[in-house]
Structure 1
């Protein structure tokens, strides 16, 4: 994050170069936090109510006090105001983090939360398909467990930190994550899709993949345009090796096509069409937003 930018802590604007946490912060001590990463276009957060609802669902699961988080409309206004204050005129990456109040050891003294909003500029406007395909590998040193909070983004992310280090060591653009059933379920910070004979496949939520906001939008868009989308219980290398195309999705980048997984190379035909559909849908979303 650019330290010269302003941030918001519980709605209060603070310079990004100021210390804001004590050593007793529970996100720091125990990873007791959830976050959402949101792309903003024209200073408005995309599909914000889906992000907010996922955050509420995660808070409820972790027994955080939902009433201590302001309503969606207030948070949305604060994001737009922060972008304007920081004079960011292009597309923006926003991170909304919520963490339990200080106090206690493993057992908290309070379930009320604090929230932090950070913004930073993106280098592109709109969802731009990567001109050069990604090269992938599979991270198999650790497995992602299937549990009730595996669908949410938490501050307890050591699995993904280690996977990121593996990616660096292998000199790859991304890596695929494996669950405890030895199924490939997602990318490092993205959901996984693959295409075979014009059928689009993606792991279902029960596989332990993140319940991605972009994943949700893509499934909706594809089905609205009469594409066949099948949600399956994860996949394996042999299935991906036989696929025609692979792409990854997340809320910031939209979709990113994959050129290679280990020794296999892939096309980028349908992925281009899907990227166009996504941008058309995003433009429609923004038009509706501005009219309302």
Structure 2
């Protein structure tokens, strides 16, 4: 028996032994399904495999791209949301041990929830951000994967909500801008599109990858991965955030500076074309 919220319940009925719950010993992918298709499935699959290897998980033989995609689509169909839904695929090490696991094998959990829109749509309303400086991201390989240890993102989101911001920008220990609370960060300065490199500690985002590839094909736009300091933000023409569910979210205000959203519109249209969403 264990005590849950003052009630004695059977131990098996709660997550008392689940390593994702106890130690954050899990990785996950957030995917989007549209018209019975997992968007950018191959990129998600290879990132998941890389993440599992980084944290020394045993990769099951049946963890093939085709099998995982089929499982995702079967769930979306069962939940009647194959036309447009958000899917979370979480992989966690099996129960057993303390910090040192006694079982190196893994289990997984897939969940899905309906999305209102198929295509990525640009939100043009006011979107203000601020720097979050209570805690910092570490410049290391673990920072680039989607693990279930997201305390900085959680506490930062509470800070943003309490102070009336729509989002916050996270910094690394060198006080450079790394990413937003829920996605990668991009800056437009003149004819240059700039985003922090993975070596700064930012998430190896799937939408980040698509936007970088698309932007490199745009004539007259120079694409660069380099450090971004908070001082650079005041000199930028545009700022935006990318993630798999929203696509591109333009930032309209940082402190006293307001920003255009022209490139956000152009690049989001190209993302929809790439994903073949209509």
**Residue 248 of structure 1 corresponds to which residue in structure 2?**
241
The answer to whether 1:106 aligns with 2:102 is: no
- Residue segments in structure 1 that go unaligned for 5+ positions in a row: 1-18, 288-292
**Residue 220 of structure 1 corresponds to which residue in structure 2?**
213
**Residue 140 of structure 2 corresponds to which residue in structure 1?**
147
Secondary structure at 1:267 match in 2: coil
* Equivalences, count: 266
Which of 155, 163, 181 is equivalent to 1:188? Answer: 181
- Residue segments in structure 2 that go unaligned for 5+ positions in a row: 1-11
1:148-187 correspondence runs (5 A):
148-187=141-180
**Residue 195 of structure 2 corresponds to which residue in structure 1?**
202
Secondary structure at 1:272 match in 2: helix
Superposition TM-score, scaled by structure 1 size: 0.88
**Residue 47 of structure 2 corresponds to which residue in structure 1?**
54
**Residue 137 of structure 1 corresponds to which residue in structure 2?**
130
Deviation string, structure 1 residues 18-46 (Cα, Å, up to 9, x no partner): x9754100001111000000111112111
Which of 29, 36, 43 is equivalent to 1:43? Answer: 36
2: CA distance between counterparts of 1:31 and 1:20? 19
**Residue 66 of structure 2 corresponds to which residue in structure 1?**
73
2: CA distance between counterparts of 1:72 and 1:253? 24
2: CA distance between counterparts of 1:167 and 1:213? 24
Q: Is the 8 A contact 2:73 2:82 kept in 1?
A: no
Deviation string, structure 1 residues 243-285 (Cα, Å, up to 9, x no partner): 00011000111101111011110011122111111111111xx
2: CA distance between counterparts of 1:213 and 1:203? 15
Secondary structure at 2:142 match in 1: coil
Deviation string, structure 1 residues 76-102 (Cα, Å, up to 9, x no partner): 011111111111153110000000000
Deviation string, structure 1 residues 100-154 (Cα, Å, up to 9, x no partner): 0000000000111001100001121211111214110110011011122110111
2: CA distance between counterparts of 1:108 and 1:69? 22
Which of 240, 249, 267 is equivalent to 1:274? Answer: 267
Q: Is the 8 A contact 1:150 1:208 kept in 2?
A: yes
RMSD: 1.6
**Residue 252 of structure 2 corresponds to which residue in structure 1?**
259
Q: Is the 8 A contact 2:33 2:82 kept in 1?
A: no
Superposition TM-score, scaled by structure 2 size: 0.92
Secondary structure at 2:145 match in 1: coil
The runs of 4+ residues in structure 1 deviating greater than 6 Å are none
Secondary structure at 2:125 match in 1: coil
2: CA distance between counterparts of 1:114 and 1:154? 15
Deviation string, structure 1 residues 51-98 (Cα, Å, up to 9, x no partner): 111111111111100125621110101111111111115311000000
Secondary structure at 1:146 match in 2: coil
